[in-house]
């Protein structure tokens, strides 16, 4: 436990934390719902990549996770699939809306506050768009709404998308804070929080925004599932992990720098 070793496919791995479930050799064995498995098959993914083999069962068990794996190793699906599957499993409770929206007295303007249940944070517009595309692809059979929000572009169209509700919100930190401060998004219902390229988000100086965002989730950190993904594991990421994760499992899969 905690030591670097080669797994049965000769991949260098390190797994630490209490009670980590074993890796899954197939998507079917990873406990994903049928609707997600269909999308995975349609995407042409035949078997999970190494980081997916380890991350999918851990995420599927509802555990907090700090995962390090190099660029191009398939981290996007490693968090998208279990988040989508988890939302489908939880579907019975609540929709994508806060209490039916509120109506401004004296105007016909109706402002709805989106209450996503999953939030995926990413450092750049390009990455947010990529994750949005992936999340849409893997949720196309589920009826879940995936919305993206990033800066450097007028906020109006993104606000209009949000008006139709959001189950999964993919966002860059700055634009998200802006929307929350405009009361167009509430973070109170977040059950899944993912930070992708956490190392890059820190390099880009997003730590204050990230802390602001997590503070607004209100509830204690063990009332949601939080997963950090990173290509490297510098000391600042370890600090973020110990602040935001609870009873988490740490994995490093493949060769990773620090
Ligand atoms: P990372 O985030 O680790 O840099 P990505 O999630 O962007 O990696 O994935 C890299 C590429 O691998 C993408 O084109 C993705 O569609 C593809 N990919 C991911 N998982 C699989 C899989 N299990 N089988 C085949 N291709 C995959
Ligand atoms: Mg990635």
Stretch 217-225: mean pLDDT, rounded? Answer: 89
The pLDDT value given to residue 240: 93
No. of helices (H) and no. of strands (E), the chain: 9, 11
Per-residue pLDDT of 75-86, as tens digits, reads: 999 999 999 999
Q: Please say if the pLDDT value at position 218 is more than 50.
A: yes
CA-based nearest residue to 226, from 180, 257, 195, 184? 195
Q: What is the dihedral of CA 130, 219, 116, 124, to 10 degrees?
A: -20
Instruction: Say whether pLDDT at 99 is over 90.
Output: no
Would you say residue 107 has pLDDT above 70?
A: no
Q: 197 in the Ramachandran plot: left (φ > 0), alpha (ψ -120 to 50) or beta? A: left
Of 58-62, 107-111, 202-206, 237-241, the range with the lowest mean pLDDT is 107-111
Nearest Cα residue to atom 2 of ligand 1: 75
Q: What is the pLDDT of residue 91?
A: 81
φ and ψ at 26, to 5 degrees? -135, 160
Q: What's the pLDDT at 94?
A: 46
Nearest alpha carbon to residue 258 among 104, 98, 51, 68: 68
* Average pLDDT along the chain: 91
13-47 burial string, b = 16+ CB within 10 Å, else e?
bbbebeebbebbeebeebbbbebbbebbeeeebee
Task: Please tell me the predicted confidence (pLDDT) of residue 1.
Answer: 61
pLDDT at 106 over 50: no
Return the ligand number nearest the Cα of 256: 1
pLDDT of residue 246: 95
Give DSSP secondary structure letters for 22-86: PP-SSSGGGT--HHHHHHHHHTT--S--HHHHHHHHHHHTT--EEEEE-TTS-HHHHHHHHHHHH
Helix (H) or strand (E) holding 119: strand 118-121
74 lines ligand 1 (CB under 6 A): yes
Q: In this prediction, does ipTM exceed 0.95?
A: yes
Helix, strand, or coil (residue 126): helix
Note the Cα 146 to chain centre separation in Å: 12
pLDDT over 50 (residue 98) = no
| Cβ(67)–Cβ(75) below 8 Å | yes
Q: In testing the pocket of ligand 1, which one of 36, 42, 77 has its CB within 8 Å of the most ligand atoms?
A: 77
In angstroms, what is the span from residue 197 Cα to ligand 1's centroid? Answer: 14
Residue 114 has pLDDT above 70, yes or no: yes
b/e 148-180 (16+ beta carbons within 10 angstroms → b): bbbbeeebeebbebbbebbbbbbbbbbbbbbbb
Q: Are 216 and 55 in contact (CB under 8 A)?
A: no
Which residues are within 8 A (CB) of 29 and not within 5 positions of it... i.e. 6 or more apart? 57
| 208 SS3 class | helix
Task: Give the separation between CA 253 and CA 116, rounded to whole angstroms.
Answer: 30
pLDDT above 90 for 28: yes
Q: Is 254 in the pocket of ligand 1 (CB under 6 A)?
A: no
Residue 66 has pLDDT above 50, yes or no: yes
pLDDT above 80 (res 100): no
Q: Which of 115-119, 146-150, 219-223 has the lowest mean pLDDT?
A: 219-223
Question: Cβ(76) to ligand 1 under 6 A?
Answer: yes
Would you say residue 95 has pLDDT above 90? no
pLDDT band at 258 (very low <50, low <70, confident <90, very high): low
């Amino acid at each position: 436990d905690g030591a670097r070793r080669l797994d049965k496919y000769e991949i260098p791995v390190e797994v630490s934390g209490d009670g980590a479930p074993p890796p899954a050799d197939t998507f079917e064995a990873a406990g994903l719902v049928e609707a997600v498995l269909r999308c995975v098959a349609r995407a042409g993914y035949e078997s999970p990549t190494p980081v997916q083999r380890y991350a999918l069962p851990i995420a599927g068990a509802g555990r907090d996770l700090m995962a390090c794996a190099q660029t191009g190793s398939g981290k996007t699906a490693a968090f998208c699939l279990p988040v989508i599957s988890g939302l489908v499993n939880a579907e019975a409770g609540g929709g994508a809306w806060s209490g039916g929206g509120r109506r401004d007295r004296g105007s016909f303007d109706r402002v709805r506050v989106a209450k996503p249940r999953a939030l995926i944070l990413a450092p750049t517009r390009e990455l947010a768009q990529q994750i949005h595309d992936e999340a849409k692809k893997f949720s196309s059979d589920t009826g879940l709404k995936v919305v993206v929000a990033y800066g450097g572009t007028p906020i109006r169209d993104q606000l209009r998308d949000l008006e139709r509700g959001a189950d999964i919100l993919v966002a860059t930190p700055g634009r998200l804070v802006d929307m929350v401060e405009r009361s167009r998004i509430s973070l109170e219902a977040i059950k899944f929080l993912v930070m992708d390229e956490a190392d890059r988000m820190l390099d880009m100086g997003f730590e204050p925004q990230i802390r602001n965002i997590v503070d607004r989730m209100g509830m204690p950190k063990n009332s949601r599932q939080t997963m950090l993904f990173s290509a490297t594991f510098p000391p600042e990421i370890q600090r973020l992990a110990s602040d935001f994760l609870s009873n988490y499992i740490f994995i490093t899969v493949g060769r990773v720098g620090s």
